[in-house]
Amino acid sequence: MIDWNFLKESFGFTSLRVGQEEILETLLKGKDALGILPTGTGKSFIYQYYGLFTKQKVVVVSPLIALMHDQVHELQLLGEKKAIALTSMLSSREKNWIIHHLQYYQFIFLSPEMLQDQQVMMNLKQQKIGLLVIDEAHCILQWGYDFRPEYLMLGKIKQELQHPLTLALTATATQQMVQEIKDSLGLDEDVYLFSNNSIRENNRIEVIPVDKTDKNQVIVEILQKVSLPVVIYALSIKALEELKFQLQQIFPQLKMDTYHSKRSKEDRQSIQKQFIKNQLDILLATSAFGMGINKKDIHTIIHYHVPANLEDYVQQIGRAGRNGENADVILLYDERDINLMKHRLIEETNPDLLVNILEKDCSLEYFPENQQTLLQLAKHYHYRTEEARAFFEKVFYDKLNRLQVMQQYCQANTCHRYAIEQYFTNKIKKEPENCQQCANCLQKSIFDRKSEIPQSLLPQNDTTKNQDWQEKFHRLFKKM
């Protein structure tokens, strides 16, 4: 049972959020749990309380170094000094010392890649682990943009650690995703599942059709109607850099930067810190940005391109409005985005092509990253030709089906919230007459709103300064 006195003394709380109490009660009874809780609803509190209350060792598998450091810092603020993040940022000497002194730590954070280290596993096996936490468990799913092949090894690692009590956490999951997580981690079919896939009620959702329209100009107009700070997601690095160049010409007073895989590791860390500290007004990013970002006051999220699936979309818009204030999540729908993604999917994830590459047993270093991942998995599992073909076909059709669901969502004129809830819960419910928080129900667009940006930050009347931005951009990049 929850010790309410301990809760108040250690955390300063007198009550718990939806899902926290149910999951904690399950763990305290010695039963595994799978928690699906939206971003910002206190998933990390669950294992913090469990470890501090039971005084047992907690091992947390997390995909991001920044997220691990944030969690260690949170525990230190709570007075817990025996917390450590075992990451690649440590020197060889520091890493070696920690590995051989794991017994001194109550909270150990590490990545799934670190668990592939034989020394780490050898020393971890000698510890009595009270709780194994798999954070961001959706990284197990092979069709998602957050997929990490090493997450597929966690079921085996759990077995090697003598099946400790296990908690898997993620922000969104369909019934199929839940089953895949259970199967991969070796969780029982009747494992306790708490699911809250709802979108925050303070997030206003809108899909804006932009066929044959200049997307950049639409973004300019949107930015005059929404509150800062803003995250703009795009699938193309070129599109991000081009958009940033234009926006800097039009909104010179706004601070902005890009975040993507072509930026150095140091750049990405610096940009993330600037954004969290409100030193940037607009962040233009690929899907590389988002998971584990601890910023509560993102007021607007814009999707420049249509995401590849509804799961990724919901994960990303879950970053908005975590402080409870009103936030806007806006998606620009261009059917050409869908057609381009279908073309790339057929080109890069074609089962016949992948089987052909696998049979040739050639070097994979020059193939696209998603092809490398699938081929490496097929090799890891020693699939024969027909087994490999079945595996590649499953991934291909999973991705294609999810893309089609995303297209249907964009084209629908019904309630956006209802569509998302139906997809994730698979429950038949009557569509609400008016959810009051999506453009379809409100019958109002973002463009019907007065400007949210101070007058001093709005574009100047002198448009001649900006009308040739494309020419300037292309001239600049020709010189590079």
Give residue-wise pLDDT tens across range 402-436: 999 999 999 999 999 999 988 887 665 677 678 88
pLDDT value of position 392: 93
Confidence bin at 479 (pLDDT 50/70/90): very low
Residue 181 has pLDDT above 80, yes or no: yes
Query: By C-alpha distance, which of 240, 279, 280, 295 is closest to 262?
Result: 240
Domain 4-195 carries which CATH code? 3.40.50.300
Q: Which residue has the higher pLDDT, 63 or 212?
A: 63
Q: Is the pTM of this model over 0.85?
A: no
Q: Write the single-letter amino acid at 421.
A: E
Token code pair at residue 221: 């107009």
State the Cα torsion 153-156-161-166 to the nearest 10°: 80
pLDDT value of position 322: 87
Backbone Cα Rg of the chain: 23
Architecture of the domain defined by 203-333+412-478: 3-Layer(aba) Sandwich (3.40)
pLDDT value of position 453: 62
CB hemisphere CA count around 126 (13 angstroms): 11
- C-alpha to C-alpha distance for 358 and 2, rounded to whole angstroms: 53
CA angle 178, 183, 186 (to 5 degrees): 120
Instruction: Locate the domains of the chain by residue range.
Output: 4-195, 203-333+412-478, 338-404
Q: Which residue has the higher pLDDT, 332 or 452?
A: 332
Whether 328 and 206 have beta carbons less than 8 Å apart is answered as yes
Q: Which residue has the higher pLDDT, 142 or 143?
A: 142
Tell me if domain 4-195 and domain 203-333+412-478 are identical in fold. yes
Residue 474 has pLDDT above 90, yes or no: no
> 109: which strand partners?
60, 85
